[in-house]
Amino acid sequence: MMKTVLILFPVIACLLVSGCARQAGPLTRGQPAKPLTPTTTATAEEWFDRANESYKKGDYGQAIAEYSKVLETAPQQTDAYFNRGNAWADKGDYDRAIADYSKALEITPQFADAYFNRAGMWTKKLDYGRAIEDYSKALEINPRDAVTYYNRGNAWGEKGDSDRAIADYTEALKIDPGYADAIYNRGLAWYKKGNYKQAIEDYNQTLKLSPRDAEAYYSRGLAGYKKGALDQAVDDYTKALEIDPQFAMAYYNRGVTWDDQGERERAIDDYTRALDVNPRLAMAYYNRGVARGAEGNYDQAIADYTQSLEIKPRDAAAYFNRGTMWLYKGNPEQAIKDYNKVLEINPQDAAAYYNRGNARGAKGDYQRAIADYTKAIEVKPNFADASYNRGLVRYKSGAYQQAIDDYNKVLAMNPRDAAAYYNRGNAWGAKGDFERAIADYTKALEVEPNFADAYNNRGISNSHLGRFKPACDDFQKACDLGYCDNLKLAQKQGNCQ
């Protein structure tokens, strides 16, 4: 009795909302309304006005050229540097934008918007540490700016510091209590900390302010799921989808929740809907494969894992599960190919060595199966099933003492493993040690009293020792449990009545 392949990898729920934390619109603020300073020439002022008009039209290249004309004649003009920085930012040239904001700050060190906009550029470059420094400078100049607290909170969140993010969102809300995005992002930060109750409270507040906010329903669904309120999670995902029928992740996570409730058909339907919206959502193919495999639809599951792997070709879990499906279909050759892929990606995956051992054992390649079980045990020394199956394969290859050694290890880890006692008994019997075989079959029956094969094999061992009365009793018990061949044989030979 081979201990079969490991269970499929569990369903993975996506924990992030679409787009993650919200930004407050653009990360930069527009050009100032004030005119140029009196020290500038009439020509510079004309160029400045032209540049502003070009900027408003969205002709950022022309605006940059015109702001540069201003700076040729008025090199200390802060507003021209600031506005040219905005134009560079809108063109996606963040380094030049940073350079212009920095120049504006050299001339006017108390220019809060320049710090704010430069922080936005650092955020675009994923340099959240520098972004935080600039938002902090802006707040020293203007400590009543809710948006700056909000954006600094976003930067702390990106750095993984949820506590500081929460503190900043809270400061933003002291200034602007109706700032829905700050409430929402604070909910995300509570969620990341594992405080789902606080997260739900913030999402509730968000929904009071914005009752049509699909992402707030979605995020509240995620938090409810984490709290075990699965019905509420389904309701929230459904509300999100009523508002936004193209919300792929809401379909996906509703599918995850159906899966957890044992509603596989509904789960499969939602994964399919998610894929209708986003055909590149690898995790939806993957989870649909898990659900289909659990229903015994191995071909469809294999097709889903294959689709997932086309999108994420380094997904070891998808290769592992596809290999498992091939094993269930009785195709160990294909299974081995998939487990090989898993081990290329992660050479320390004990489960992949174990399942590859099972596949090789199914092919009759016992030496390679033994090598795989051995490797699995090296990676995971207390892997009882690997020791058990290695014992089975060693038994099949005639290495009875080594098989016994493996079953000894299994029983040291689990003294209540009836199958291990039974198979160790078989190995003792194969070595001709029927007394020890009988002792092991007896132990197996103490653990599992209706173990017909243990009665039958104990009867055979007693027969080898000439103990026909106890042998006949065992054959009778085996027959009572459905296995009568040896009782009939012993009766035919006259050894049993």
Q: In terms of Cα–Cα distance, which of 226, 164, 215, 220 is closest to 189? A: 164
Structure token digits, residue 469: 């009365």
Tell me the CA distances in angstroms from 39 to 43, 74, 404, one per residue in order.
12, 8, 96
In whole angstroms, give the CA distance from residue 11 to residue 20.
21
Q: Tell me whether residue 246 is exposed, middle or buried, using C-beta atoms within 10 angstroms of its C-beta: 0 to 12, 13 to 18, 19 or more.
A: exposed
What angle is formed at CA 223 by the lines to CA 221 and CA 224, rounded to 5 degrees? 65
**Closest to 14 (Cα-Cα) out of 306, 233, 284, 316:** 284
- The terminus-to-terminus CA distance of the chain in angstroms comes to 31
Structure confidence by residue, pLDDT tens digits, 190-214 = 999 999 999 999 999 999 999 999 9
Above pLDDT 70, what percent of the chain?
Answer: 92
Largest Cα separation within the chain, whole Å, is 126
pLDDT digits (tens, 9 = 90+) for 3-62: 443 433 333 333 333 223 444 433 544 544 344 444 445 588 889 999 999 999 999 999
Q: What is the pLDDT of residues 312-332, one digit of tens each?
A: 999 999 999 999 999 999 999
pLDDT at residue 253 greater than cutoff 80 = yes
Reported pTM? 0.85
The pLDDT tens digits of the residues spanning 344-376 come to 999 999 999 999 999 999 999 999 999 999 999
Phi and psi torsions of 196, nearest 5°: -70, -30
Res 41: pLDDT: 53
Measured CA to CA in angstroms, residue 78 lies from 16, 124, 489 at distances of 41, 23, 105
Q: What's the token pair of residue 169? A: 């969102």
Distances (CA, A) of 392 to 13, 361, 362, 380, 389: 37, 9, 12, 19, 5
Please give the single-letter amino acid code of residue 184: Y
- pLDDT tens per residue across span 279-292: 999 999 999 999 99
Mean pLDDT of the chain: 91
Asked whether the beta carbons of 208 and 228 are under 8 A apart, the reply is no
Containing H/E element for 185? helix 180-192
Residues with Cβ within 8 Å of 456's Cβ and at least 6 positions away in sequence, in order, are 474, 475, 478, 483, 486
Q: Which residues contact 392 (CB under 8 A, 6 or more apart)?
A: 1, 2, 361, 403, 423
Ramachandran region, residue 123 (left: φ > 0; alpha: ψ -120 to 50; beta: rest): alpha
Give the model's pLDDT for residue 497.
81
The SS3 call for residue 289 is helix
* Tokens at 180, concatenated: 């829905």
Q: Measure Cα distances from 160 to 52, 116, 131, 216, 315 in Å.
A: 39, 21, 14, 21, 25
Q: Which candidate, 189, 242, 255, places its Cα nearest to that of 219?
A: 189
Q: Span 132-141, mean pLDDT?
A: 97
Taking residue 347's Cβ as centre, other Cβ atoms within 10 Å add up to 11
Tell me the three state secondary structure of residue 450.
coil
What value does the mean pLDDT take over residues 77-92? 94
pLDDT for 11 = 32
Q: Give pLDDT tens digits for 368-402.
A: 999 999 999 999 999 999 999 999 999 999 999 99
Instruction: Locate 199 and state its tokens.
Output: 């997260």
223-243 mean pLDDT: 97
Residue 383 carries which DSSP code?
A: -
Measured CA to CA, the distance from residue 497 to residue 486 in angstroms comes to 13
Task: Please list, in sequence order, all residues whose beta carbon lies within 8 angstroms of the beta carbon of residue 393, skipping any fewer than 6 positions away.
Answer: 357, 361, 366, 369, 370, 373
Q: 12: phi > 0 → left, psi -120 to 50 → alpha, else beta; which?
A: beta
268, exposed or middle or buried, with CB in 10 Å at 0-12, 13-18, 19+? buried
Please say if the pLDDT value at position 236 is more than 60. Answer: yes
Query: How far, in Å, CA of 357 to CA of 261, rounded?
Result: 33
Phi-psi region of 16 (alpha: psi -120 to 50; beta: other; left: phi over 0): beta
Q: Measuring CA to CA, which residue among 88, 80, 99, 100 is closest to residue 31?
A: 80
* Single-letter amino acid code for the residue at 205: Q
Give the pLDDT of residue 45: 87
